[in-house]
Amino acid sequence: MEAARTLQLTRERVDVEGDSLRIRDLTVEDRAVVELVERRRSEQAVPAEDTVLAALEIGARVLDREGRKAEVDFVKHEFERVSGEVERSFAEQAGKVGEELAEGLERFLGEEDGAVGKVLESHQDAVEELVTKHFGADRNTAVQHQLREVMEKLLAESRDALLKQFSARDGHNPLAGFQDAVTKEVERSRKVHEEMVQKLVTLEGTVRVLARAEQAAVEIAEEREHGTRKGRTFETQVFEALEPLAAARGDAASHVGDERSAAGGKKGDIVVEIDAASGPAKARIAIEVKDERLSKNDAWKVLNATLAQRDADFAILAVASEGKVPAGREALHEYEGNKMIVTFDREDPDDRALELAYRYARCRCLMAAERTLEVDAPGVRDAAGEALSALKDAQKIRSSLTGASNSVGAARGALDVMIARVEVSLERIEALITAAE
């Protein structure tokens, strides 16, 4: 790992306050740290401060563990060194004792100058008699047997005394302090190990909880996606955009996607009853919401079923994007005098196209409902033609906005102008109908 710190940590920049450590003006240039912070922030939404604090905490524990390992190694090395010194000292002392014992025996039992030899020579007869008496090989009480027993007893007692000395806890044991230090260090290391194991167990439990939470989030996302595929969320978006538009004109909008009509069907997710806020509805507009691309034939089957099952005078098919407009059909184009297709982008909702389609359908329904009124038919026809033409232009401009990021400002300005033209035309139609009433 390559790391470079551009700030020297001095006592003026590092403060210790209780259990807290404050580092001021610290910059660390370490690519691994930067990549870790960015990856956790982008993939797991973990704040950079949390990642840095976790890295400092884990690093401190690693350094502490390494330091403790070095202390144990030092103790082991010292123990081996002291044991070697004791062994060497014991060997040297044993050698000296052996040499002194050999010299003494030589002086006492030497063949030429030994004191025992001289005494034996002066008392040869008496010695022979005593030796025969006490050192006979066939006697169990012979002196050599007694000496062997005495030596074995002394050696056993010396061995036991030595073991007691080196196993004692007081000052008689030269290794007592060292043994205590080793025992304390081993006990402390055991406690640290147990604490580390407990932390690992806790960490394992936390990881399991996070894994379960992540799995639950994935399942929720999948369920939401499944619900989206069924169209419920998109239906709600379209209804919430359309309801205030209808209420502003005295119409009543209802979300009826889960309700069966009198005819027994469920086609038509939203129904708008014109002028129902002030009395009986004059006409009905039904909107079918689809988050999928239908074929031309399927789209017409759906729109016809919507008209029939919701007893509607005009049917609108709302799709989630330009790519989901049925093949062979155009958005914001009137078909057969009572059908229209409109796009409502679920990712970037813009209710202007939906509003224009609804207002156009409303004007159509009012014109059809008030057949007995004397309406300026040419004026209405001209205004409707202008509205449809402007709607098509607005739709083209909106499509160009998706792929032309460099001219977004100009295109949006042109789009606003076109939409204003549509609104003027629709207001003319509504004014003509109102005047006739």
Q: Is-contact 118 108, C-beta < 8 A?
A: no
Tokens of 68: 């403790």
Report the C-alpha gap between 348 and 402 in whole angstroms.
11
Least confident of 209-213, 335-339, 365-369, 370-374: 370-374
Q: Express the helix, strand and coil content of the chain in percent, nearest 5 each.
A: 65, 10, 25
Q: What is the pTM of this model?
A: 0.42
pLDDT in tens, 374-412: 656 666 667 766 766 776 676 666 666 655 555 666 677
Strand-pairing partners, residue 342, are 318
Taking residues 165-169, what's their average pLDDT? 62
- Checking if the pLDDT of 67 tops 50, the result is yes
Phi, psi of 128 (to 5 degrees): -60, -40
Amino acid occupying residue 98: G
- Contacts (Cβ under 8 Å, ≥6 apart) of 142: 134, 135, 136
Tokens of 11: 């006592």
More confident: 137 or 55: 55
- Contacts (Cβ under 8 Å, ≥6 apart) of 143: 134, 135
Q: What is the pLDDT of residue 1?
A: 43
Q: Is-contact 116 109, C-beta < 8 A?
A: yes
Q: What is the pLDDT of residue 167?
A: 64
Query: Domain coordinates of the chain in residue numbers?
Result: 47-112, 231-436
- Mean of the per-residue pLDDT values of the chain: 75
* Helix ranges (DSSP H) in 110-142: 115-122, 124-134
Amino acid occupying residue 42: S
Q: Of 287, 300, 270, whose CA–CA distance to 360 is shortest? A: 287
